[in-house]
Amino acid sequence: MDNTSLTSPAATHDNGRPQPRLVELPKVNDPRGNLTFIESEQHVPFTVKRNYWIYDVPSGMWRDGHAFKDQHEFIVALSGSFDVVVNMGDGERTFHLARPQIGLYVPNMTWRYMDNFSTNSVALVLSSTMYDDADYITDMDEFKRLINE
Ligand code: TYD
């Protein structure tokens, strides 16, 4: 799937786990400039503990794949566009993010990488956890083993 529409997959995967899905955020249309907001646990299905953003991405660069044991994320293209490629262990799906009022919820135990950053793109990431190196799964074989446990 490659879209920015909200024809997102069902909230729950066949295996009963939540799965990545697009979420339309509130948008206050205003001739002075539009405004969108995110409230913890209201527009994202977790308590937001941390925010970070990725910017100044050189042309042709991608962000390596990994999954998180516990961390849930919500990713928004604040500016420009990029792809988020997700895999719950049964194949890849590509979400093209290009609108600042649409975000992608990425549950824990989802392998993901980011690619195709446009010039001057800014990726905002809301996270359910503080930064913890031990939460990262950076080996695809380990990810597949854990997802099948
Ligand atoms: P990383 O999450 O590995 O980035 P990506 O997923 O895009 O590959 O983070 C890159 C570096 O930044 C790593 O050395 C850890 C550091 N970092 C923090 O210190 N705090 C954070 O909240 C994040 C996201 C990263």
pTM for the model stands at 0.92
Closest ligand 1 atom, residue 66 Cα: 6
Spell out the domains of the chain, with CATH numbers in brackets. Answer: 15-147 (2.60.120.10)
As a three-state string, the secondary structure of the chain is CEECCCCCCCCECCCCCECCEEEECCEECCCCCCEECCCCCCCCCCCCCEEEEECCCCCCCCEEEEEECCCCEEEEEEECCEEEEEECCCCEEEEEECCCCEEEEECCCCEEEEECCCCCCEEEEEECCCCCHHHEECCHHHHHHHHCC
Ligand 1 neighbour 131 (Cβ under 6 A): yes
Rounded to the nearest whole angstrom, what is the distance from the C-alpha of residue 6 to the centroid of ligand 1? 29
- Tens digit of pLDDT for each residue in 68-77? 999 999 999 9
Active site (catalytic) residues: 66
% of the chain with per-residue pLDDT over 70:
93
Q: Which of 48, 49, 51, 52 to mutate to test the pocket of ligand 1 (most atoms within 8 A of CB)?
A: 52
Nearest CA, atom 22, ligand 1: 131
- Tens digit of pLDDT for each residue in 78-130? 999 999 999 999 999 999 999 999 999 999 999 999 999 999 999 999 999 99
**pLDDT of res. 8:** 52
